[in-house]
Amino acid sequence: MKRRAFSIAAGAILAGVLGFAGPAAAEKVKIGISIPAATHGWTGGLNYQTNRTVDAMRKAFPDVEFIVAAASDPNKQVNDVEDLVATHRINALVILPFESEPLTEPVKQVRKQGVFVTVVDRGLSEPGIENLYVGGNNPQYGVVAAEYFKRKFPNGASIVVMRGIPTAIDNIRIEAFQKALAGTKIKVLDMQYANWNPDKGFQVMQDYLQRFSAIDGVWAGDDDAALGALEAIKQAGRQDKIALLGGSGMNRVVKAVMDGGSPIDADIFYPPTIIIPAIGLTVLRSTTQAPVQGRYVLDSPLITKENAGDYYFAASPY
């Protein structure tokens, strides 16, 4: 932290000196990266992947300067974005919005000032603001979950669902999930928020197990919540009777799917690694003028024993 502050300060002084020395000196390209702080497992992984990518990029592109800011709430993120533009005078912004609505207007202002804008994962509320969008496929996430249960229970079943943290993403996934299940014999008994959190997942699952004597399947929405739910199901001794699905590709869960023998036999790919192409494309655009406008959407396929090897990152903390 201290070292980074120092290098930023040193960079600023250096830039000042160069500015005086001669206007001919090539200016450093500055890329600001604004992401949510590690409030749950997935964002934890996001912070890890961001720092890892930035470290690699710093070595590969010494002329590019990176400023990373992690915000613990949407309001702080708006401040971060303003600081990146006003004090760091960035040329490009890579942003994973905490929430769509509150960040839309501030990012629009950034774009107006001629900054190249890359939006990651959570889209803004107004189309056409960003130059580049990189994201996972949230409706597909819900659909893949629904397909999983449809395939598992062709003759119908009773399932319970855990929602995430109340956000636009959660709504999109759940809507797509319900739509894909419409008209089938799969009945959703109840939905509760488990905040993509293992402790909450454990608690909600314990109560579901008390409330419903027959549960065939659980969609925990996220692997953190699924791991909590798994302990509750084990405690009740019902692990052979309940199909449990999480989502997002946490390495521990992908490993369990790969090895087999776990009550969790599948996962949905939606990893925090999506920040990597977002940073990469933005750097390439700034250094090589690569025309990379548009949308770059990564699939969210089902991870099964057969393909789990492709999605397993042993060193990742998530």
Partner 1 sequence: MSDTALVVRERAGLRGALGAAGPLVALLALVLLGAAVNPAFLGPDNISNVLTRSAIVGIIAVGTTFVITAGGLDLSVGSMSALIAGLMILAMNTLLPFLGAGWTTVLLGMGAALLLGLLCGGLNGLLVVKGGVDAFIATLGTMGVFRSVLTWVANGGSISLDFGLRSVARPIYYGGVFGVSFPLLALLAVSVLGEVALRRMRFGRHVAAIGSNREVARYSAVRVDRVRVLTYVIQGVCVALATLIYVPRLGAATPATGLMWELEAIAAVVIGGTALNGGFGRVWGSVVGVLILGLIQNILNLSNLVSPYLNGAFQGAIIIIAVVLQQRRKPR
Nearer to partner 1, 138 or 195 (CB): 195
Is the Cα torsion angle 244, 250, 251, 254 positive or negative in sign?
positive
Amino acid code (one letter) for 276: I
Query: Shortest gap between Cβ of 52 and partner 1 (angstroms)?
Result: 9
Question: What DSSP line would sit under the chain, residue for residue?
Answer: -HHHHHHHHHHHHHHHHHHHH-TTSPPPEEEEEEEE-SSSHHHHHHHHHHHHHHHHHHHH-TTEEEEEEEESSHHHHHHHHHHHHHTT--SEEEE--SSHHHHHHHHHHHHHTT-EEEEESS--SSTT--SEEEE--HHHHHHHHHHHHHHH-TT-EEEEEEE-SSSHHHHHHHHHHHHHHTTSSEEEEEEEE-TT-HHHHHHHHHHHHHH-S---EEE-SSHHHHHHHHHHHHHTT-TTT-EEE--S--HHHHHHHHH--SS---EE---GGGHHHHHHHHHHHHHH-----EEEE---PEE-TTTGGGG--TT---
Footprint on residues 225-254 left by partner 1 (CB under 8 A): 227-228, 231, 235-236, 252
Query: Shortest gap between Cβ of 41 and partner 1 (angstroms)?
Result: 6
Question: Could you give the string, one character per residue 153-172, with x where binding to partner 1 holds by CB under 8 A and - elsewhere?
Answer: ----------x--x------
Question: Could you give the string, one character per residue 279-318, with x where binding to partner 1 holds by CB under 8 A and - elsewhere?
Answer: -------------------------------------xxx
The answer to whether residue 198 forms part of the interface with partner 1 (CB under 8 A) is: yes
Q: Give the binding-site size for partner 1 (rule: CB under 8 A).
A: 38
Query: Shortest gap between Cβ of 278 and partner 1 (angstroms)?
Result: 18
**Residue 152 CB-density burial (10 A; 0-12 exposed, 13-18 middle, 19+ buried):** middle
Exactly one of 15, 28, 39, 265 binds partner 1 (CB under 8 A); that residue is 39
Nearer to partner 1, 33 or 124 (CB): 33
Structure tokens at 34: 């604004």
Query: Shortest gap between Cβ of 292 and partner 1 (angstroms)?
Result: 28
The answer to whether residue 259 forms part of the interface with partner 1 (CB under 8 A) is: no
The answer to whether residue 204 forms part of the interface with partner 1 (CB under 8 A) is: yes
Nearer to partner 1, 143 or 174 (CB): 174
Question: Could you give the string, one character per residue 41-80, with x where binding to partner 1 holds by CB under 8 A and - elsewhere?
Answer: x-xxxxxx--------------------------------
Query: Shortest gap between Cβ of 203 and partner 1 (angstroms)?
Result: 6
The answer to whether residue 149 forms part of the interface with partner 1 (CB under 8 A) is: no
**Residue for token digits 């774009």?**
111
Select from 93-101, 151-159, 187-195, 288-296 the region that touches partner 1 (CB under 8 A): 187-195
Exactly one of 18, 38, 276, 302 binds partner 1 (CB under 8 A); that residue is 38
The residue ranges that bind partner 1 (CB under 8 A) are: 38-41, 43-48, 163, 166, 190-193, 195, 197-199, 202-204, 206-208, 210-211, 224, 227-228, 231, 235-236, 252, 316-318
